[in-house]
Structure 1
Amino acid sequence: MIRRLAVASVSLAVVLGCGTLPAVAADSRPTAAASAAPDVDVTKVKAHLNELSAIASRNGGNRRSTGQGYRDSVAYVKGKLQAAGYTVTEQPCTSGCTSGAGPNLIAEWPQGDANQVTMFGAHLDGVSAGPGMNDNGSGSAALLENALTLAQQNPAMTGRVRFAWWTDEEQGLNGSDFYVRSLSSTERAKIKAYYNFDMVASVNGGYFINHITSAAAAPMKAYWDSLGLQPEENTEGAGRSDDYSFEQYGIPTSGYAMGASARKTSAQAAKWGGTAGSAYDPCYHRSCDTLTNINTTGLDRASDGIAHTVWQRAVRSETGGCDTAGVVGNGGFESGTAPWTGDTGAIGAHSGQSAHTGTRYAWLAGYGSTRTESIGQQVTVPAGCSRATLTYWLRIDTDETGSTAYDRFTVKADGSTLATLSNADASGGYVQRSVDLTAYAGRTVTVTFTGSEDASLQTSFVLDDVSLQGS
């Protein structure tokens, strides 16, 4: 993880022995229903860490992006991926990176819809102070073994899975920034979500998820929820790792982390174990970030959660399952605005309207003047659904008269219009309506609701209780 000096939590005021902090409580596997993904063997993940440690030892004790230790790390990961059947590319960073920095490494599993890409990434470089086993050998090794497990399992795919190991993160997120900048807008649009893994084995760690309430985070949170971990938002890591490069271009992101130099609270120690008041990783950016600075339990849980997310996002269901629970995030608008995007000021408990259930709703248009408002979110339709229906409750109130459509409400999926209503459909109360998303089974699409008015006479489109039903 890159150090941001402006972040108050970057403190090493308490000096602790790197290998002596309490381990997090023992793992308990979820039921089979919680995840159809394979169990990623943590001993194999640690074998990759051992090799990265040996590489650092042979190259001055570190794997800094500008040194041979980094290039040897790239060669090790690349060799494993090529042998497993991946399409592997070394991408030189030709602008924005530190002079002499090694390449990004990009690996794509050559199956599934190439227009539906889910990316998983971790930075492979470390700081010059030490071998960087937690930061970020842990994320790099977990990602590598997940890629090899996917190849070994070779399941039927609905979408593409692309893995990335980034250069020059520690110098300013430079490798990932170069990668995203280098993509055309068409290629960027194919990336439906990016997941980042930076420091997933902190010895005094917590269980943190980037953008935990977002639709992208849903499979990651569901897995850790199934272990009873009660994960929290990764506030310490916000804007400090490679997911930020993707966020800058509007690509949904999430990921796991276990913490850097910020200190564990008493409440976190009570539910996760470890030492309150001490850093999540007391060896952050220090020479003691060695193989003794690894929390094996946390590494195992992160590795398996990555696999669960890969399978949920891109692997075709073998059982025909169609679990739509939680696919639409915050469909009743009761939990703030996330993961909705767009004109989120329309969401709330506004004076003049009422909710279908609860207290909050989305009030689109209703100004009596030329106005357009939209809200939307990404929805992953389960691959096992033979039928998938997006349902919603809509109230249309209007001052217009007659059957002419002056003001309109539309529902779109990835820009394709699935339904259009207007002031002529006003009913004086909520009506449940639906659109068919069956054609999108196994895909992630952006569903958008839009209300638009002409220059006079208001029409309000009040939306509530959005959900996905499947069979």
Structure 2
Amino acid sequence: MRPYAPQRALLALALAATALAAAPAAGLAAPGNASQPAPAAAAALAAPDISLTNVKAHLQQFQNIANSNGGNRRSNTAGYTASVNYVYNKLVAAGFSVVKQNCTSGCTSGAGPNVIADWPGGDANTVYMFGAHLDGVAAGPGINDNASGSSTLLEIALTLAATNPSMLNHVRFAWWTDEEQGLNGSEFYANSLPSTERTKIKGYFNFDMVASTNGGYFINRITSSLGQTLKAYYDANFPGLNPEENVEGAGRSDDASFNAVGIQTSGVAAGASANKTSAQVTKWGGTTGDYDPCYHASCDTYPSNINDTILNRAGDAAAYALWTLATGTPATTVWQDTFETATGWTTNPSGTDTATTGAWERGDPADTNSSGIKQLGTTVSGSNDLVTGRLAGTAAGDYDLDGGVSSIRSPAITLPSSGTINLSANWYLAHGSNSSSADYLRISIVHSGGTTTLFTQAGAATNRNGGWALGTWNISAYAGQSVRILVTAADASTASLVEAGVDDVKITVS
């Protein structure tokens, strides 16, 4: 993990606030709300155990590489080049499609390449990425920071290849260059992605310093759906462990590069130079000293600077996320709408909407920008989506949602009488720093017993740019019924800028 820099303090606070904003507003808790993990569209296969012995063998190799190359693996050294070759050769031999991506702008002079590896199969329009920085600092071998993340990621990739499960979604791994000099390798990759490719990436998981000797259990953006997927592993296997938000690492590792371009992120960390609190000592053990006393120092070596227990659990948590989100047999589509043609959605179905502008409509949206992108002009597929006022106007707020609530309801949909039934939708909520928790995007299901909220994304008094995210909610409780999907957005804060969009809504059964 790169060192703390004062100029990144505001970014760190913003990322932490974004994570907290994903929690539902008080009184809106319901099945499938934003604080719960989003299950895959089909039953996932069970995740295998990630061999700690094999991960430690990779760590030994990175230590050997540093020993043979001046004692470090900095991004522009022979030690980094040897690290790249070690990872690349392992992946190619396992059957991955692997690219060494040169960083042609923004990286330190002489920095080596990123390593990008795709496993064949899965839905190419639904990609989950798993990444770790491969470089270290000049002071030492960089074993916990970040051979621990790189080794864990490599062993997960090799386990995926060895087990060769049925792939529901596509998986891509990445080992980043020049992270320690400013997140440069991942930033180059993320900024180089065409908008259509960014939209395909539904989540990025980052693994940086996952074996700190006095470490803790931290999850990036823990309240997001991706973060909750990781937390579900720890909660199920280690009750009482209670992982925490990775506040120390916010904005300081490669997940920040993906957040900056609107891609949802999470990840695992064990802590760097901050001090473990007495409360954390009580539940996790250790002392109140630094999480990693050898952070960015010559003593960051193998095996002395590795906590086997924390390392082992990090690998299994990562594998759980991958197998949960990306493996399984594709489900059967019962109903879907990409909004390219009119299918019978009804605006203001109850006649109670109060919004004065920016009501929901189906159409080809225009980009709007105010302190960053707000209304997205790029849809998930095709030209149209559901959007709160598709026009742009002269100012960003000309056609945004204003004055209250707007709702839109689907036509009637008959659900199968049995099976695991899931509703999925791509969505975004964007707002300015003048928003509050009174603003929201909500997805509900209307059934024979009434209306049940499946998901609420609340606003907050921080700037939130538009970025497509995928949500999935189990609606098996309504099997055999005729249901409708209700999408609601509200601008209930005074003079706040609010935009929302929904696209590619689908119901599947497995």
Shorter chain as denominator, the TM-score bin is: 0.5 to 0.7
The alpha-carbon distance between structure 1 residues 316 and 60, as it changes in their structure 2 partners (threshold 3 A), is same
- Which string of whole-angstrom CA distances, capped at 9 and with x for unpartnered residues, describes residues 385-429 of structure 1? xxxxxxxxxxxxxxxxxxxxx96424682379xxxxxxxxxx9xx
Alignment root-mean-square deviation, CA: 3.1
SS in 2 for 1:267: helix
Of 460, 465, 470, the residue aligned with 1:445 is 470
Secondary structure at the counterpart of residue 99 of structure 1:
coil
In structure 2, give the amino acid aligned to 1:92: N
Task: Measure, in 2, the Cα distance between the counterparts of 1:55 and 1:209.
Answer: 30
2:201 corresponds, among 171, 191, 196, to: 191
Q: CA deviation at 1:34?
A: 11
Trace 1:16-415 onto structure 2 (pairs within 5 A): 36-226=46-236, 227-228=238-239, 229-276=241-288, 278-291=289-302, 292-316=304-328, 366-367=353-354, 369-372=356-359, 408-410=407-409, 413-414=425-426
Worse-superposed segment, 216-225 or 100-109? 216-225
One-letter amino acid of the structure 2 residue matched with residue 2 of structure 1: R
Residue type of the alignment partner of 1:282: P
Q: Which amino acid aligns with 1:274?
A: G
Contact 2:44–2:328, Cα closer than 8 Å, also in 1 = no
> 2 CA distance for matches of 1:244 and 1:37?
27
Superposition deviation, residue 36 in structure 1: 1.5
Task: Provide the C-alpha distance between the structure 2 equivalents of 1:449 and 1:193, rounded to a whole number of angstroms.
Answer: 23
Relative to structure 1, the CA distance from residue 5 to residue 372 in structure 2 (aligned partners, 3 Å threshold; closer, same or farther) is same
The amino acid across from 1:369 in the alignment is T
State the Cα deviation string for residues 269-313 of structure 1 (Å, max 9, x = none): 00000002x000000000000011000111100011111111001
Q: Give the distance between the partners of 2:298 and 2:305, measured in 1 at CA.
A: 10
TM-score of the pair, normalised by structure 1: 0.67
Aligned residue identity for 1:78: Y
Cα deviation digits, residues 83-110 of structure 1 (max 9, x gap):
0000000000000001100000000001
- Provide the secondary structure at the position in 2 that maps to 1:164: strand
Cα distance in 1 for partners of 2:359, 2:308 equals: 51
**Structure 2: tracts of 5 or more residues without a match:** 10-42, 332-350, 362-373, 375-404, 411-423, 429-445, 455-468, 473-485, 492-506
Q: Look up the equivalent residue of 2:451 and give its one-letter code.
A: Q
- How far is the alpha carbon of 1:78 from its aligned partner? 0.4
* AA aligned opposite 1:114: A
For residues 407 and 179 of structure 1, the distance between their equivalents in structure 2, rounded to whole angstroms, comes to 38
Partner amino acid, structure 2, of 1:370: T
Partner residue of 1:2? 2
Q: What is the CA distance between 1:126 and its match in structure 2? A: 0.2
Alignment correspondent of 1:431: 450
Aligned to 1:334: none
Give structure 1 regions of 4+ aligned residues with deviation exceeding 6 angstroms: 468-471
Task: For residue 230 of structure 1, report the CA deviation from its aligned partner.
Answer: 0.8
In the alignment of these two chains, the number of paired residues is 338
Q: C-alpha separation between the residues in 2 aligned to 1:159 and 1:35?
A: 12
- Give the structure-2-normalised TM-score: 0.62
Q: Cα–Cα, structure 1 residues 407 and 84, in superposed 2: closer, same or farther, change >3 Å?
A: closer
**Residue identity matched to 1:409:** I
1:266, 1:433 → 2: CA distance? 41
- Look up the SS of the partner of 2:170 in the other structure: strand
Give secondary structure in 2 for the equivalent of 1:80.
helix
User: CA separation of 1:413/1:274 partners in 2, compared to 1, >3 Å: closer, same or farther?
Assistant: same
CA contact (8 A) 1:198 1:256 kept: yes
Secondary structure of the residue aligned to 2:226 is: coil
CA drift of 1:125 comes to 0.1
Amino acid at match of 2:2: I
Q: Is the 8 A contact 2:355 2:406 kept in 1?
A: no
Sequence identity (%): 58
Whole-Å separation in 1 of the counterparts to 2:508 and 2:199: 27
Distance across 1 between alignment mates of 2:169 and 2:488: 28
Q: Which amino acid aligns with 1:56?
A: A
Aligned in 2, Cα 1:452/1:42: closer, same or farther, shift over 3 Å?
Answer: closer
Stretches of structure 1 that go unaligned for 5 or more consecutive residues are: 9-32, 321-363, 376-405, 417-426, 436-443, 454-467
How much does 1:4 deviate? 1.8
Q: Is the 1:410–1:451 Cα contact (8 Å) retained in structure 2? A: no
1:452 and 1:168 mapped to 2: Cα distance? 42
Deviations 1:131-161 (A, max 9, x none): 0000000000000000000000000000111
Distance 1:272 1:452, change over 3 A: closer
Distance 2:489 2:223 in 1: 25
Aligned to 1:458: none
Q: SS of 2:225's equivalent?
A: coil
Q: Quote the offset at 1:220 in angstroms.
A: 0.6
- Asked if 2 retains the 8 angstrom alpha-carbon contact of 1:35 and 1:308, the reply is no
SS at match of 1:300: helix
1:329 is aligned to: none
User: Which residue is equivalent to 1:462?
Assistant: none
Shift of 1:450: 3.8
Give the superposition deviation at 1:433.
6.3
